[in-house]
Chain A
Amino acid sequence: MAAQDGGKSEVGVNSSPALKPKDWVLLSLRLVAFFATTAATIVMALNKQTNTVVVATVGNTPVKAAVTAKFQQTPAFVFFVVANGMASFHNCLMIVVELFGHKIDCNGLRLAIIAILDMMTVAMTSAGDGAATFMAEVGKNGNSHARWNKICDKFHAYCDRGNGALIASFIGLLILLIINVMSISKLLKPKHTTYIGVP
């Protein structure tokens, strides 16, 4: 609001187009988190493996059936893909706003909105990760008490790719947590320089 008149000199000196070093740290962390969550989404979304098993033998020819393992068969993995997809979208949006949207201030609530959105993304990603990890654990070890057999011994590649996606997502979650803590500390620290127009 007061950006164009009055406080122009303050704007030019402090919160200008050139980002401060701390902003570069935040920006690069967001970039890494973006890559991690996008990698997790893509690897899990393309996770599919087909095995052919011999079901019966008719005369001399074996009857084969194709058994497929896809991520859509497990609701937890679907949620994982959705959560990581939304996290990558959020990271992308935050990077764009950070680089090109310095004029957008929303009545001074900009930092609060960023912190709240970051928090919601952390919540969603942690939920997706938790669900997918434990479903992967059941797939890997089975559950003898419930008579659920493990599937990782038959579908090695599916399990390996799932593990990779999970690791990428955990890295993304850790970095998102750090980013969130940084956003919150930015919010809580009293700012003297970037509030435009304050004499």
Chain B
Amino acid sequence: MITKTWKMIFTLLLRLLALTATLAATLVMVTAHDSTEVMHFTFKAKYSYEPAFKYFVVAEAIASGYSLIVLFLSSKNSFSRLVMILDMVVAMLLISSVSAAMAVAYVGKKGNIHAGWLPICGEVAKFCNQATGALISGLLAAIMYLLLLIYSLHDTAYWMS
């Protein structure tokens, strides 16, 4: 029984960490904005100007809502299979959104000389820094979810065999 409590505590801790990370990622990305004057036009940067960042914010918001709900539901055992499957879907969502946002952020930072896309981080440095922070937080959230999945699988398998 004692080991079962430790297992539950560990899972709860992972979920709490994932909740904090997703919440932080959403908030930091939503509040990231910057604008500069270059020559005669204003160069503005916000998360909503780029579909990949919008997807990132939506996915992280869904994941934080889900984490919150499951934290409160954690005690019941009848939902455990549904929770495991939903965990997998949310993990997949998180991973793909972080990956998409990182791909676009890489172009924003380094540019893509073949396509003629110039990097924008030189002009809107504040936006870039905040977006980087949000991305790191999102990456940590995705890792937490993966750990959670692998841990619950290992736990169930070890128990069964």
State A177–B101 Cα separation when bound (angstroms).
22
Interface contact tally, CB-CB below 8 A: 124
Query: Which of A8-16, A37-45, A110-118 interfaces with chain B?
Result: A110-118
In the bound complex, what is the Cα–Cα distance between A111 and B160 (angstroms)?
11
Main secondary structure of the interface of B (DSSP, over half): helix
A27 CB, min distance to chain B CBs, angstroms: 22
* Interface flags, A109-137, vs B, CB<8A=1, else 0: 10110011001001100111111111101
Tell me if B150 counts as interface (CB < 8 A to partner A). yes
B55/A134 in contact, CB under 8 A: yes
Number of interface residues of B (CB under 8 A): 45
Give the CA-CA distance A131 to B91 in the complex, in Å: 15
Is there a chain B Cβ closer than 8 Å to A56's Cβ?
A: no
Q: Would A184 and B85 be within 8 Å (CB), given that A126-B96, A145-B44 are in contact?
A: yes
B143-156: CB near A (< 8 Å → 1, else 0) gives: 00010011001101
B residues at A contact (CB < 8 Å): 43-45, 49-52, 55, 81, 84-85, 88-89, 91-92, 95-104, 106-108, 112, 114-118, 120, 146, 149-150, 153-154, 156-158, 160-161
A130-B55, A138-B104, A190-B160 known; 15 new pairs, CB 8 Å cut-off, are: A70-B114, A74-B115, A112-B161, A126-B92, A126-B99, A129-B96, A131-B99, A131-B103, A134-B51, A134-B100, A135-B103, A143-B50, A148-B107, A184-B88, A185-B81
